Structure 1
């Protein structure tokens, strides 16, 4: 079946050819993203450039995704673990249903030891990011697995100024960054980056984060014709303070731990290469990659529920190799007098896990194997889409994607295919205003270990969206979007438990309002989103989707002049309450956090920046769950498990001071 999909891609591209016509803390490299009117297919899509990224302080690397309007990033464990993501009524857990790519490499991990679609961005050096292109909804033919709620493509820079950065902060935070570019006129340019971080955090058990990230990127050309080869390396180890129940606060405090040996080790090494340029009367894009990653994650969420004598700690472990190849061809043509812009492509990916396992542990010492598997998961997808200009003010984008999967788990095999159509209609612009209508199907794959046990391999989603985007004045843009997304029976493998559990079909709908302003040294973004998530199949326990975020709002304002002198900014983020159980009887508490930045650029290339996170020192939670657990003293007393809210607090007011020197 995989061979059939790839062959079909070649036939599809050949058929379409008939219509073709011949023919940093330091100052970042500023790429002009340009006005957003007239170059997108949905009201909710957009791009963020390096200047915008550099102007906003990040508490964690994963907060790069908060540049996607309406997306919130939190954490429920140590800083070496992937973040929690919320978007469009989804508690995306660690990444399921939102596809993320870095330099063309997929970040979401299939059949991951901790959870399907696990998306860990800790290996990224934010100062080396050139731009972020984001889309919401399943409307782009180039997006496949995990892209139901949307996708983000993080592109790396080819050049950055030579600079050294040192950051120190509260709770033992230390960071050193060296980055720059070596230019050779005949052989291209070599970008380098080395990021070393240490952190203890506010926790009673010091987090002792020891993180090292490195990048080497060799590239040449630019614009419409060029190539790049990128090597990335990342290692991290940490102690984790996982979520605790409310009833334990009196015993261990808000920042306490019930298992001091929780934590983990992670590593990621990758080599990728890309080539883009003119070919066959159009433009070709090629990207190949190989990624080697490893994770050992020690967690204890129920304390002494299942194993009262030794505790409930477990280890989730995997050793993974991912290889892939993407090829796409874009060209223009005419058909029956219509101007067409066409794009077709093939995407192949293979994951090999040797092994992936779940083990019971005591103080990180393995005591038993719950299950251990060797997994091979391969997919091949083809896509094609055509943009037709029917009139000067009306265009459509029709797309089709086909994907085939092969799952192999310790000798047991399954195969599955899916076809997802897409359609976008764009009207305008009229006086800087465009109208959008989008409809399409998407999907996410399920864990291979569940698939070979009879779980649905590929879960289909159906989305529809209508929106308007307007340029009210030079530099001021606004968009308003209403959307709806339905998901089929989401039978998934639950990494925390090592078992497969079914869930019901669901439906979400909502509205988003975004305002963007950029003029001179001033930038401002305001995002407001509201959504409603419900199960569509009746059940006695209720129809609420636990963890679904019903409302959020964010505001970010920055002032960064082109020359030297003072700069600064403020940001605000509000997350509304979330139902924690299906009947809606228990909710999380809303949170509102603020941050601020002030900086001064001296002559001679030096810059000093002060960042403050959780400016007003609010006592809030990054995440809350509701489930049954048993504390060690409760187990010793013979008590039964208790249902309780389990939470992970936000970090208290945190101050970081950065000195950067460009040389």
Structure 2
């Protein structure tokens, strides 16, 4: 451990304390470390570069306390003279987990009120897939319904977000959601992320954060991959249903290179291969390859550069959604299929460069440019023989896309009298160029085309975010965001489903301004209160906007909540929020028909409760409880349900973690039964599942095992109310269709560190 101080300037008035926090072993800057002075309310957390700032301090001697989960807390005596600005560097050694060291001080990013909860989860929860990464968002549920290669269906805060319509996902500044996608608006395929490379998750619920625009209505998940590896790793996993996975992560410059180099730099490569036939009667032949290369270095004392490149490809067969009557009448088994020719392929290539420059007056300029090449082709059959009793209703949706973008942010702290004003200004553009197709097919042979055309969609955005510490306890965050969209679609087929004699073509521009206002009050070192409000939106599909001049383009979301993060006892961390959200128009893009369905305005209210408790030195308990009540506001009573919107969900577990290497976790998931259509006559069935993970880790190797669905419950994963007709069936039937969930499943893994 090392400390050093330097006096920079003296003047009359309050003193200022600035500093940095780093890992004592690797010298890596630490983000999210709690920093505060004894006897002085409030505090702060370190930023992405490990920097922290405490201002408006009266002259005197204080005890500076610095701590983070998984590190030994440090207490340091600091004497400040009037007007002095003092700098301190703190190096934290690792230590056993201790929740008593978690603080509820306001984070540097004030709207990340789940920071303490997320930090605990990242340390304790086992991860083995991209799906596990999404489940780190408290209260978020996912469902798969067309083979392992398709993006998951997302549920959060009473929203059936489909594949991402109302939940924004990003990784290293790259947007994951796809606008005007061939299958569904906001389609967020997260499978191109290798879970072992992810270092951090920031969770934002509700439309309260100016940095996020389109799709961030129920919330946003911001993931960040590691800057450098602690060690290289080779991992092998083997499981039931012909499942196998291989992972290699290699530090290219050596663990000690950044300590010896005058300009610290790091680089690593990671590669993943996954295969499974899954548990369905028809083998799924699901194959996935992921590759990642990331370099971080300093170009000068004030400038750093991060370059990232990644490649992802996947192919699979799918059994699709099946009707309850098909299983009940013995036509197929629970794991069978009506049309076994479903499935698809997809790929994504990403490139990104981030230039971060430290400017005068402690300002920071961050600029990022990125590019993605995306391909997607999906074969589905949701209605079976409803429209074509002879050949069936199989469709193909294809998306060939180029995505370019730029994001720039400027951060600066400014003194306003005795207080600190933190300013963030952002400017960005996203540009999607795509060829999208909707076609009919018979056993993956294209027969005719319904819609095809070239899409251009641009989003220009800017925001200003101001955070002012009015008192030692009270902080106000006010922000405004402006978005301008251009929708341009050039149809290549005259006979599309608009029934127009000419191809669907047009160009539409639309803008949206979204203000935010959030207040935080540090009642005591163990209690933080917050009240948040903001306007947000989700965009409509470009084809729907151009086809219908009266269509909702950027329907507004109005959100508000009150809550608290608090510690009733030192080892117990609780986050609670009572919230409401009103959506101007609920839009569902039906990619199967190439049209947008409008549900109309909706309102939702709910209560979120997250609890993290350390029962003993090695034993930890966690649970998330989420209640949601949602209705369509323009529909008559009894026919105003929001289809598939969850009412109650809960996730939790008991985790054992020994500093000597043994760890294990018993986890549960529960979602209640809920209406699958407007009047509730068809209901999606709830479930309760138990999973278990055990691992033994040493500095040289790790071995482990995972068991899913310990009770072997026959549960429905994705569920929909769908009108279908089966072979030789005289009339169509509207009933529940589902994708069966995983039965009891075991896999083992072994890793070597070098």
TM-score by length of structure 2 reads: 0.80
CA 1:174 to 1:651, structure 2 compared with 1: closer, same or farther past 3 Å? same
Q: Supply the distance in 1 between the matched residues of 2:701 and 2:733 (Cα, whole angstroms).
A: 56
SS of equivalent to 1:452? helix
Task: Tell me, yes or no, if structure 1 residue 498 matches structure 2 residue 579.
Answer: no
1:512, 1:527 within 8 Å by CA — same for their partners in 2?
yes
In the alignment, structure 1 segments of 5+ residues that lack a partner are 1-20
Match in the other structure for 1:39: 106
Aligned to 2:541: 447
Matches within 5 A, 1:72-471: 72-160=141-229, 161-183=231-253, 184=257, 185=261, 188-221=265-298, 226-249=304-327, 250-281=330-361, 282-335=363-416, 338-353=419-434, 355-410=435-490, 411-453=505-547, 454=549, 455-471=551-567
CA distance in 2, matches of 1:50, 1:658: 25
Q: After TM superposition, give the deviation of residue 597 of structure 1 in Å.
A: 1.1
1:289 & 1:662 partners in 2: Cα distance? 32
SS in 2 for 1:631: coil
Q: Is the 8 A contact 1:30 1:51 kept in 2?
A: no
In the other structure, the counterpart of 1:648 is 739
* 8 Å Cα contact 1:43/1:468 also seen in 2: no
Give 1:605's aligned residue.
700
Alignment of 1:525-540 (within 5 A): 525-539=622-636
Give yes or no for contact 2:117–2:612 (8 Å, CA) kept in 1.
Answer: no
Q: What CA distance in whole angstroms lies between the structure 2 residues aligned with 1:262 and 1:520?
A: 50
CA shift digits 1:463-507 (9 cap, x unpaired): 010001102343421011100000012345321221232221000
Distance in 1 separating the partners of 2:118 and 2:629: 31
SS at structure 1 position matched to 2:703:
strand
- Farther off after superposition, 136-145 or 532-541: 532-541
Farther-moved stretch of structure 1 (379-388 vs 217-226)? 217-226
Q: 1:56-88: CA deviations, max 9, x gaps?
A: 345742231111111111111200000011000
How far, CA to CA, are the matches of 1:36 and 1:358 in structure 2? 52
Aligned length: 631
Q: Distance in 1 between matches of 2:264 and 2:565?
A: 43
Task: Say if 2:710 and 2:744, in contact at 8 Å, map to a contact too.
Answer: yes
Q: Normalization by structure 1: what TM-score?
A: 0.91
Verify the 8 A CA contact 1:42 1:436 in the aligned structure 2: no
Residue aligning to 2:49: none
Asked if structure 1 preserves the Cα contact closer than 8 Å seen for 2:675 and 2:683, the reply is yes
Q: Distance in 2 between matches of 1:77 and 1:224?
A: 48
The CA distance in 2 between the partners of 1:189 and 1:159, in whole Å, is: 6
How far residue 43 of structure 1 moved from its aligned partner, in angstroms, is 7.6
Q: Greater Rg, structure 1 or structure 2? A: 2
Matches within 5 A, 1:573-652: 573-601=669-697, 605-634=700-729, 639-652=730-743
Question: What residue in structure 1 maps to residue 62 of structure 2?
Answer: none
In 2 relative to 1, CA 648–531 (structure 1 residues): closer, same or farther, beyond 3 Å? same
For 1:441 and 1:426, the matched residues in 2 are separated by 18
Q: Which moved more, 1:271-280 or 1:396-405?
A: 271-280
Structure 1 residues 258-290: Cα deviation after superposition (integer angstroms, max 9, x where no partner)? 111100000000001112241242112222110
Give a deviation string over 1:410-464, Cα, whole Å, max 9, x none: 0510000010000001111414101100111000111001111222211110001
Q: Is the Cα–Cα contact under 8 Å of residues 353 and 370 in structure 2 kept in the other structure?
A: yes
Shift in Å at residue 539 of structure 1? 4.2
Compare 33-42 and 533-542 and name the one that shifted more: 33-42
* Structure 2, gaps ≥5 residues long: 1-15, 19-25, 33-67, 69-101, 491-504
Q: Aligned partners of 2:510, 2:417: CA distance in 1, in Å?
A: 37
Task: Give the Cα–Cα distance (whole angstroms) in 2 for the partners of residues 662 and 162 of structure 1.
Answer: 6
Deviations 1:311-350 (A, max 9, x none): 1100000101111111111111134654211111101100
SS at match of 2:228: coil
